[in-house]
Structure 1
Amino acid sequence: MALLKIFVGTMYGGSLDVAEQVQPLFEQAGYTVEVLDQPTLTDLTETRPDLALFVTSTTGSGDVPGNLTGFLNTLSTESPALDWLRYGMIALGDSSYGETYCGAGRHLDERLADLGATRHGERLEIDAMETFMADDAALPWVEAWIPTLPATA
């Protein structure tokens, strides 16, 4: 089976809830799924996933949640070649913050692309001002995203 790793950046658990809600959809599609709520770069590079999904909220004024800070810092300091990585991005934010809306997801997305990774499809940005439960937006997005992925066999 193909391996999917879901990398979670969360402050209050909303992103982790999204990851846990979408996990069964990937399992039904034939993936072995690991949800990582304290991700490290080693989690990405030692046992390379066939696909990665990043689910992150944004804190403060566009900041990365504390549990994802080390991962992003290591991406920046080590700058590993990620030309082999295919990934998806779900960014949670609050549009009342203006330009920093979904800042963590946008910043991580940009950094992954700079390192050669390829995002599959569009980034999903979930606005807390419009969607109370983030999984209400994430589940349909993942259901539509999975059929566009290359075969898992």
Structure 2
Amino acid sequence: MPTLKIFVATMYGGALDVAEQVKPLFEECGYEVTIHEQPTLEDLIEPPPDLTLFCVSTTGSGDYPGNFAALAGAIAEKGPDLARLRYGLIALGDSSYGETFCGAGRALDKLLQEHGAERLGERLEVDAMETFMADDEAVPWVEAWIEEQELRT
């Protein structure tokens, strides 16, 4: 059975809610899904998943939430080869913060690609100013992503 790891970067639980809402969509496609709420570099690379999804909130200043900062720092400092990592990214933010909107998701996307990871499809950016419940936008995006990337097993 193929594996999917969902990594959550959250302040107030919105990104975790998205992860929990999309998990069954992947299970229906035949994936064994694990959600990582306190993710580490080891979680990311051992054992390597077949597919990875990041659900990433951004702090008001554009930074990673506390539960995710260690993982992002470890990737930046240790420079692991992520060439086998195939991923999708859902970034949550608030456009009222201007230039820092979805800053953590954008920074993670850049960081992963600098280390050889391959993003499948486009990054989803959910704006809290337009969408009250992030999963209202994330669930249809994941359904389309599964089809467009032919992720059914």
Q: TM-score range by the shorter chain?
A: over 0.9
Aligned residue in 1 for 2:39: 39
What TM-score comes out, normalization by structure 2 length? Answer: 0.97
* Deviation for aligned residue 1:118: 0.4
Aligned residue in 2 for 1:58: 58
* Deviation for aligned residue 1:60: 2.3
Kept in 1: contact 2:57–2:102 (CA 8 A): yes
Provide the C-alpha distance between the structure 2 equivalents of 1:119 and 1:151, rounded to a whole number of angstroms: 13
Larger mean CA deviation between 140-149 and 122-131 belongs to 140-149
User: Which amino acid in 1 is paired with 2:140?
Assistant: P
Residues 1-153 of structure 1 aligned to structure 2 (within 5 Å): 1-151=1-151, 153=153
Identity, in percent, stands at 64
Unaligned runs of 5+ in 1: none
Counterparts in 2 of 1:146 and 1:152: CA distance versus 1, 3 Å: closer
Provide the C-alpha distance between the structure 2 equivalents of 1:138 and 1:68, rounded to a whole number of angstroms: 20
* Deviation for aligned residue 1:148: 2.3
User: Which amino acid in 2 is paired with 1:144?
Assistant: A
Q: Deviations over 1:110-146 (max 9, x none)?
A: 0000000000000000000000000000000001001
Counterparts in 2 of 1:91 and 1:151: CA distance versus 1, 3 Å: closer
Provide the C-alpha distance between the structure 2 equivalents of 1:5 and 1:150, rounded to a whole number of angstroms: 17
What TM-score comes out, normalization by structure 1 length? Answer: 0.97
User: Which amino acid in 2 is paired with 1:10?
Assistant: T
Kept in 1: contact 2:57–2:91 (CA 8 A): yes
User: Which amino acid in 2 is paired with 1:23?
Assistant: K
The Cα RMSD (Å) is 0.9
Kept in 2: contact 1:2–1:152 (CA 8 A): no
User: Which amino acid in 2 is paired with 1:86?
Assistant: R
User: Which amino acid in 2 is paired with 1:97?
Assistant: Y
Q: Deviations over 1:36-93 (max 9, x none)?
A: 0000000011110000000010002101000000000000110001011100000000
Provide the C-alpha distance between the structure 1 equivalents of 2:81 and 2:144, rounded to a whole number of angstroms: 29
Kept in 2: contact 1:7–1:53 (CA 8 A): yes
How many positions carry a matched residue from both structures?
153
